[in-house]
Structure 1
Amino acid sequence: MTPQLVINAGGELNMETELDTITTRLPQVIYQAQTIRAGEQAAAKQCGVSMNQLMLAAGHAVFEWLTQVAPTLSGQRNIKRVVVLCGKGNNGGDAYIVARLALQRGYQVTVYATDEVSDGAQAAYQAWRDSGGRQLALTEFNTEVDADVIVDGLLGSGLQGEVREPYASAISACNAHPALTVAIDLPSGLSADSGQPLGCALRADATITFIGLFAGLFTGAGADYCGQIFFAGLGVNDAFDAQQAAWLQRYQPQLPLLPRRAAASHKGSHGHVLIVGGQPGMSGAVTLAMQSALRAGAGKVSVACHPQVQAIVAGGMVQGVATVEALQPMLKQADVVVLGCGLGQTDWAEQLWRAVIDSGKPLVIDADGLQWLARYPRQLQSAILTPHPGEAATLLGRDTAWVQQQRVEAVQQLQRNFGAHCLLKGAGSLVATRRASYLVDRGSAALAVAGMGDLLSGIIAALWVQNRKTAQNLSGAQLDEAQAMDNDELVAQQALLTAVWLHAVAGERAAEQGARGTLPSDLLGIIRQLVN
């Protein structure tokens, strides 16, 4: 149940229920910044709430964090000195409300603000002044200011272009200040949609966001700037959700990840993955993909690699493949093919790439497989593409900076251009399918090492092949061709999302011993635990 806003005769906020106004249990849907800015007024109107009352509710939510959460996060039971940074817009209005409430509660409050106040923030600003509050110029804020907590109300989701003065200097000083910092709605300077700093951005210990979630809180560099994320629906979020279309879904898997295996099953019951790649000098890529596919539960994994590396790729069903003719029998037996790990850019690589692409097999395409696809683009109806931002840029004919600034648009454009399910790797990985787009907000910096992508390709293929076998067993021969294609599309989507989540969580667990120095092979045992 969502708390309903009630404003008493004195203009203060009451709640009709005893529910907390802030929570770390975040909604599952994510919206574009412009959708939230444009839609919050309509949602408030439907709930009989004015924009001033909505701002008052936001201020109360931040004040609740200050009184109930900040002492625990800071390690100080007795927080006294609160510095509030106010911009000219609605975030500044929220901040003026926090300042007034803190002053009335007996905190030592200092406000640093811009000279301008927007029309939307005027009421909050005037209430601050009427309570006896005064402010200093924002230019006077510096690292020597006494503060236990700093409240960031400088810039919001409407920021266009890079941060300018005096905001840039204030953000820099705040980042260098030892006080606990909380951002209102979004850390100042962070792009609400991409999670990239717009020139510079404030690094908060906590962020309290309202009504709907921004993608930038989770993807790109967002995790480095937002700290712990709290949510307050302000009593209008249910109405907002009913009125607006989601941009992304936050993916949470249903456990168990895979159905329990039948006691009478055999290796053929759990699918055959073929990995095609491994040119001379790049045997490690196919080895990692092979190992992760096995650890994630594929019944059989074969590797078609260059003859010169066959002896190096130990274990599994490894065959040196010099020609397309030698590859064909392996392709015929495979249920899902991983294409590109260590494939290279030679004539040998191109011949194998073309043969696999033309085979009609379900494909997981990574690394050099994506480079060849950029050279010879085509629609792929039964494929999963797994680029990192650099590879995505090549596929789209853009540069990496554009991809990182437009991460959601980039992954959705990849899906449209190639027809496949598409993953855009990186912090806050994004997945675009023909049905919807998703964000997987799990992971760790421990994954930032060569070979992790090969590991992920093997996991995707293993989950896909197992899910395909399960779906085939359940459906029997009752589906027509269109229904079978639709069913396989759902199976592929689920395998991709689950694999990205599993890989990310395995990275988190590996990082418990330290993010630095993690090897892809360190995740193999964890992967086995997670799929079971």
Structure 2
Amino acid sequence: MPKDLFTAAQVRQLDALAIQSMAAENGYELMQRAGRSAFRALVRRWPEAARLTLFCGGGNNGGDGYVVAELARRHNLQVEVFALSDPEKLRGEAAQAFASCCAAGVDVAIWSPDCLISGDVIVDAMLGTGLSGAVREDYAAAINAINTAGRPVIALDIPSGLCADSGMPLGPTVNAAMTVTFIGMKRGLVTGEAPDYTGELVFDELEVPADIYSKLPTACRRSDFSQAVGLAPIRKPSSHKGMFGRVLVVGGDTGFGGAAIMAAEAAYRAGCGLVSCATRAAHVGAGLARVPEVMFREINSRGELLAMLDAAEVIALGPGLGKEPWGQMCLQTCLDADKPMVVDADALNMIAARKLQLNPRSLMTPHPGEAARLLECSVADVMQDRFAAARDLAESYNCHVLLKGVGTLLAAPDQEELVVVQAGNPGMACGGMGDVLTGLAAGLLAQGMAPLAAAELAAAWHGAAADSATESVAQASLMAGDLLKQLGAVMREARV
């Protein structure tokens, strides 16, 4: 998969630049390449399919579908095509594709809810990346018919109904088993709710020359563990613990000690040299029993916390912190210390409520609910454009941001680039996962990594550990502690 991610508008620009580079009068050759690519993917995935049902829209996405229909017919498959609009009104390349399809002997019928779907595989070529508003009623009916037909679906470029920029459905959305996308990877395919609809994601640049992409630089890139692992600090043979930083985890109000304990253990697993934990007295014994390498101390006053802060280089603030007076005291004391921090959980909620600022060396790690409180908007607003939300958080709080969720988003206050980290699985939807991530990021920061690089590696490593854990534990049974057991193993395997 390519690293660069594009908006729908940028992909249209790439398409135009590619056509120019081919010295072609129109984009029909590019459309034929897209159709051939999709047909190859279809045959690879469903080699026994003998009959196809295609749904074609009124634009170039429909044109891609007509190319697939013609190819299927020429390969002796039975083909039925339903047009969502009058194909006689097609223009440009799509009209050429329709005419060629008809010349090959393919019959095209206008879709109505009475039409019967008989194909072994359904091809979705209706809306593509041009969709920006709500799905129209006639398309919604077709999408619902596709989703209830009980046949596997291959979507061309993007499942119809899904926003190519946000990854959110704009109404009824095709549930595809496979999506074949072309020319530029759309950023909406890797975040939001996109994975619920895309199925297997296949990319084809359609032989577009590499220099075309240099003419349209993008400020968004994709990362995963295979890429991020190269950011991990390297240890010299002469290394000692003083070279790898000191993290202080501050959290664990009464009844919430586990969060702070897991964060502290994760900081050590990240490679930090020395880890301390400022917590409530009730959790000191449990912490020492679980992770005796961590220096746990009871904290009851600002003065006691200041003494621990003096020795710390990075603060992990928030796991199990709570919002009671003890947590409020810890929050303000840590903010006053003006040191690099990883901020999560109730620390974020109190920052939102009190409209406090962070320093630019800090990293906040909100989930969408916390992000909504920080931005004083709804969760729906955050999800509608996670890219804008991450950027707004970085600018509003002058800090680095790791916005959790499918396709974790990273933003920095001093640069335009956004990073989408693809890692992990649905089993991570349980308590404690964020605490492990907080400790992991803090441990990497303490080793001298820049905040954005630390966030990228932490998110990717975190997700890779979760994926590794599901080799022996069902996703539904996954717990945060399972990740702690896998962190060292996945890094060892990646660095061999």
What TM-score does the superposition give when structure 2 sets the normalisation length? Answer: 0.92
SS in 1 for 2:137: coil
Shift of the 60–206 alpha-carbon distance from structure 1 to 2, 3 Å rule, reads: same
Corresponding residue for residue 66 of structure 1: 42
Instruction: String of CA shifts for 1:389-433, please: whole Å, max 9, x gaps.
Output: 111111111110111110111111111112211111011111112
Q: Which amino acid aligns with 2:419?
A: Y
Q: Which amino acid aligns with 2:74?
A: Q
Alignment of 1:82 with 2:82, yes or no, is: no
SS in 2 for 1:493: helix
Residue 241 of structure 1: which of 196, 207, 213 is its match?
213
Q: Is the 8 A contact 1:211 1:240 kept in 2?
A: no
Shift of the 34–523 alpha-carbon distance from structure 1 to 2, 3 Å rule, reads: same
How far apart are residue 237 of structure 1 and its match? 5.3
Q: Is the 8 A contact 1:286 1:303 kept in 2?
A: yes
Alignment of 1:40 with 2:19, yes or no, is: no
Instruction: String of CA shifts for 1:107-137, please: whole Å, max 9, x gaps.
Output: 1000011233442422212222232322223
How far apart are residue 504 of structure 1 and its match? 0.6
Shift of the 223–237 alpha-carbon distance from structure 1 to 2, 3 Å rule, reads: farther
Corresponding residue for residue 74 of structure 1: none
Alignment of 1:357 with 2:338, yes or no, is: no
Name the count of aligned residue pairs: 478
Q: Which amino acid aligns with 2:462?
A: H
Shift of the 491–124 alpha-carbon distance from structure 1 to 2, 3 Å rule, reads: same
Shift of the 204–311 alpha-carbon distance from structure 1 to 2, 3 Å rule, reads: same
Aligned equivalents of 2:418, 2:114: Cα separation in 1: 42
Alignment of 1:426-437 (within 5 A): 426-433=405-412, 434-435=414-415, 436-437=417-418
SS in 2 for 1:437: strand
Q: Is the 8 A contact 2:7 2:165 kept in 1?
A: yes
Q: Which amino acid aligns with 2:219?
A: W
Corresponding residue for residue 180 of structure 1: 152
Instruction: String of CA shifts for 1:1-35, please: whole Å, max 9, x gaps.
Output: xxxxxxxxxxxxxxxxxxxxxxxxx2110011121
How far apart are residue 313 of structure 1 and its match? 3.4
Aligned equivalents of 2:250, 2:119: Cα separation in 1: 59
Q: Is the 8 A contact 2:228 2:460 kept in 1?
A: no
How far apart are residue 264 of structure 1 and its match? 4.3
Aligned equivalents of 2:152, 2:164: Cα separation in 1: 22
SS in 1 for 2:175: coil
How far apart are residue 56 of structure 1 and its match? 2.0
Shift of the 405–499 alpha-carbon distance from structure 1 to 2, 3 Å rule, reads: same
Corresponding residue for residue 124 of structure 1: 97
Q: Is the 8 A contact 1:91 1:155 kept in 2?
A: yes
Q: Is the 8 A contact 2:113 2:145 kept in 1?
A: no
Instruction: String of CA shifts for 1:287-313, please: whole Å, max 9, x gaps.
Output: 110121122222221111134544443
Corresponding residue for residue 377 of structure 1: 356
Alignment of 1:155 with 2:117, yes or no, is: no
Corresponding residue for residue 458 of structure 1: 439
SS in 2 for 1:29: coil
Corresponding residue for residue 293 of structure 1: 267
Corresponding residue for residue 530 of structure 1: 490
How far apart are residue 174 of structure 1 and its match? 1.7
Alignment of 1:106-505 (within 5 A): 106-117=76-87, 118-120=90-92, 121-140=94-113, 145-236=117-208, 238-252=210-224, 253=227, 255=229, 258-314=232-288, 315=292, 316-374=294-352, 375-433=354-412, 434-435=414-415, 436-466=417-447, 468=448, 491-505=450-464
How far apart are residue 377 of structure 1 and its match? 2.9
Between stretches 199-208 and 48-57, larger displacement belongs to 48-57
Q: Is the 8 A contact 1:302 1:318 kept in 2?
A: yes
Aligned equivalents of 1:34, 1:377: Cα separation in 2: 36
Aligned equivalents of 1:306, 1:355: Cα separation in 2: 16
Q: Is the 8 A contact 1:297 1:531 kept in 2?
A: no
Aligned equivalents of 1:311, 1:176: Cα separation in 2: 56
How far apart are residue 260 of structure 1 and its match? 4.6
Instruction: String of CA shifts for 1:128-153, please: whole Å, max 9, x gaps.
Output: 223232222322476x6222211110
SS in 1 for 2:476: coil
Shift of the 442–78 alpha-carbon distance from structure 1 to 2, 3 Å rule, reads: same
Aligned equivalents of 1:296, 1:393: Cα separation in 2: 29
Shift of the 284–255 alpha-carbon distance from structure 1 to 2, 3 Å rule, reads: closer
SS in 2 for 1:343: coil
Q: Which amino acid aligns with 1:101?
A: L
Instruction: String of CA shifts for 1:343-385, please: whole Å, max 9, x gaps.
Output: 1112222222111112121100111111122122325211011
Aligned equivalents of 2:136, 2:173: Cα separation in 1: 11
Q: Is the 8 A contact 1:295 1:525 kept in 2?
A: no
Q: Is the 8 A contact 2:444 2:458 kept in 1?
A: yes
How far apart are residue 105 of structure 1 and its match? 1.9
Q: Is the 8 A contact 1:204 1:227 kept in 2?
A: yes
Q: Which amino acid aligns with 1:348?
A: W
Aligned equivalents of 2:450, 2:307: Cα separation in 1: 26
Aligned equivalents of 1:34, 1:258: Cα separation in 2: 35
How far apart are residue 240 of structure 1 and its match? 3.6
Structure 2, unmatched stretches of 5+, are: none
Shift of the 527–226 alpha-carbon distance from structure 1 to 2, 3 Å rule, reads: same
Aligned equivalents of 2:78, 2:428: Cα separation in 1: 43
SS in 2 for 1:139: coil
Shift of the 97–331 alpha-carbon distance from structure 1 to 2, 3 Å rule, reads: same
Aligned equivalents of 1:183, 1:114: Cα separation in 2: 15
Aligned equivalents of 2:145, 2:283: Cα separation in 1: 55
Q: Is the 8 A contact 1:151 1:183 kept in 2?
A: yes
Q: Which amino acid aligns with 2:16?
A: Q
SS in 1 for 2:470: helix
Q: Is the 8 A contact 1:393 1:403 kept in 2?
A: yes
In the TM superposition, structure 1's runs of 4+ consecutive aligned residues that sit over 4 Å from their partners are 254-257
How far apart are residue 102 of structure 1 and its match? 1.1
Q: Which amino acid aligns with 2:320?
A: G
Shift of the 391–462 alpha-carbon distance from structure 1 to 2, 3 Å rule, reads: same
How far apart are residue 182 of structure 1 and its match? 0.7
Q: Which amino acid aligns with 2:215?
A: Q
Q: Is the 8 A contact 2:466 2:482 kept in 1?
A: no
